[in-house]
Amino acid sequence: MPIPRILSFGDNVVDCYEDQKLMYPGGNCLNLAVFAHRFGAETFYGGAVADDPAGRHIRRALLAEGVDVSRLRSLPGNTAFCVIGSQGGDRVFLGADLGVSIVGPEAEDLALMSKVDAVHTGRSSHIDDWAPHIAARSRLSYDFATAHEIVRLMRVAPHCHLASFSGGELSREQALGLAHRAAGLGARHVLITRGAKGALLLSGSELTETRAEIITPLDTLGAGDTFIARVLTGLLRDERPADLLAAAASEAAQTCSWHGGFGHAAPMEVELHLSKSVAEIYRLTKAIPAPALT
């Protein structure tokens, strides 16, 4: 079976656990690069960190996990961070700063996209305008997270090989409706994770569902990214939908048994005075423009 090659391009942070005074590497794209490698893919991470304790820790963790960091840039400024609290095992975001993490693809990144089997990015990376450029070079995997609005769907879903959504608050009927909307716009596969209610995968007219594993979570951070990574690698290996969904549910449950997205704790060293609310970050952060596709 060929080994899938995946470039994960976009957001990264260190997740700072206030009660532990520890930071863990994280962010949707960073997590996916690590988990997809754990699931047997050859993975590359493209993004930006600063030359500070958090940035150096992210680079060390990626190297320790076997992820190729040749497209990880080092820029002046501060590495992105998110301050995490906990309520009953669920993550609570207390504040964040995106630092230097929001960057667009460079020529070398675009060249690499043409050589891999899939490119993953998502809402938190703020590069939606680049979706057609990515899809012209490779299969696009995109994490919409909780962004279900039709404007974003119309802009990105037509270019998606895999469109993933977080739908823990959705009923089954609402989740199915969302999946069919994304598929109707052109997404080849649509994944909706629903927390304790399981997940569904719509591939053309084929609908597959799985139950969540019943666990008492220590920390749910990274579970959704784990699920997406396992589904993406499974699709690239042409695994049966029922098998890859069951495996993804099991791996996501395993992720809930440790702190941080994929571990690698270090003493917390970030500029907390830069912290902003999540709402303020989404209000202030500008999307990275892309040139017209020719």
Task: Parse the chain into domains and list their residue ranges.
Answer: 5-279
- Over residues 44-95, the pLDDT tens digits come to 999 999 999 999 999 999 999 999 999 999 999 999 999 987 666 566 788 9
* Superfamily the domain 5-279 falls into: Ribokinase (3.40.1190.20)
pLDDT of residue 89: 56
Half-sphere exposure in the Cβ direction for 15 (13 Å, CA) = 26
Backbone phi, psi, residue 93, to 5°: -90, 120
pLDDT of residue 214: 87
How many residues does the structure list for the chain?
A: 294
Q: What is the pTM of this model?
A: 0.96
Three-state helix/strand/coil letters over the chain: CCCCEEEEECCCEEEEECCCCEEEEECHHHHHHHHHHHCCCEEEEEEEECCCHHHHHHHHHHHHCCCEEEEEEECCCCCCEEEEEEECCEEEEEEEECCCCCCCCCHHHHHHHCCCCEEEEEHHHCCHHHHHHHHCCCEEEEEEECCCCHHHHHHHHHHEEEEEEECCCCCHHHHHHHHHHHHHCCCCEEEEECHHHCEEEEECCEEEEECCCCCCCCCCCCHHHHHHHHHHHHHHCCCCHHHHHHHHHHHHHHHCCCCCCCCCCEECCCCHHHCECHHHHHHHCCCCCCCCCC
- Burial class of residue 114, CB neighbours in 10 A (0-12, 13-18, 19+): exposed
Mean pLDDT across the chain: 95
Q: Can you name the residues that pair with 122 across neighbouring β-strands?
A: 143
Higher pLDDT, 126 or 91: 126
pLDDT of residue 156: 98
Query: 118-122 and 42-49: which strand pairing?
Result: unpaired
Q: Is the pLDDT of residue 154 over 80?
A: yes
pLDDT of residue 92: 77
- Over residues 1-45, the pLDDT tens digits come to 689 999 999 999 999 998 899 999 999 999 999 999 999 999 999
- Over residues 184-242, the pLDDT tens digits come to 999 999 999 999 999 999 999 999 999 999 888 888 889 999 999 999 999 999 999 99
- Over residues 129-139, the pLDDT tens digits come to 999 999 999 99
pLDDT of residue 274: 94
pLDDT of residue 238: 97
Average pLDDT of the residues in 106-116? 98
- If phi over 0 gives left and psi between -120 and 50 gives alpha, with beta otherwise, what is residue 251? alpha
pLDDT of residue 247: 98
Sheet containing 13-17, strands listed edge to edge, beginning at the edge strand earlier in sequence: 90-97, 81-87, 13-17, 22-26, 266-267
Whether the CB-CB separation of 74 and 37 falls below 8 Å is answered with: no
